[in-house]
Amino acid sequence: MEQSVEQTASHGHHRKSHHSDQTKANLMTRLNRIEGQIRGVKGMIEKDTYCDDVLNQIAAIQSALNSVGKMVLEGHMKSCVIERIQSGEHEVIDEILVTMNKLMK
């Protein structure tokens, strides 16, 4: 996330998302839950919990993060990307392809 902030700053643009208050609240709820799951994994490791149980919890966290990423990506495609294409900024296609490759690693 820091990299994209630097990239937009270096290009002289300051862009913002178009998330509705409801979407923002949903994302924050999901992220708070993920944050709690991560604290839980830290506690599991401190308590020497069986490795398979820890790995299953990590898999659940990864799935939850992917879900958040998909929500943000969908909103981005339906708002920011469409607006930029309509205004003639076709380089947004390359930008989104780079981002999607990062998400799919």
The CATH number assigned to the domain holding 51 equals 1.20.58.1000
pLDDT at 51: 97
Split at pLDDT 50, 70, 90, the class of 105 is confident
Per the domain annotation, does 7 fall within a domain?
Answer: no
Cα separation, 21 vs 27, in Å, equals: 10
For the question of whether the overall pTM of this predicted structure is more than 0.85, the answer is: no
Per the domain annotation, does 4 fall within a domain?
Answer: no
DSSP 54-85: HHHHHHHHHHHHHHHHHHHHHHHIIIIIHHHH
Per the domain annotation, does 11 fall within a domain?
Answer: no
Q: How far is CA 76 from CA 47, 59, 61, 100, 101, in A?
A: 40, 25, 22, 12, 15
pLDDT at 13: 57
pLDDT at 11: 45
Per the domain annotation, does 78 fall within a domain?
Answer: yes
- Tokens (6 digits) for 50: 């069986």
User: Which residues have CB under 8 Å from 40's CB, separation 6+?
Assistant: 57
pLDDT digits (tens, 9 = 90+) for 58-104: 999 999 999 999 999 999 999 999 999 999 999 999 999 999 999 99
Cα separation, 105 vs 97, in Å, equals: 13
Per the domain annotation, does 94 fall within a domain?
Answer: yes
User: 34 lies in which domain range?
Assistant: 19-103
pLDDT digits (tens, 9 = 90+) for 5-45: 434 433 445 677 778 889 999 999 999 999 999 999 999 99
Per the domain annotation, does 6 fall within a domain?
Answer: no
Q: How many domains does the chain have?
A: 1
Per the domain annotation, does 75 fall within a domain?
Answer: yes
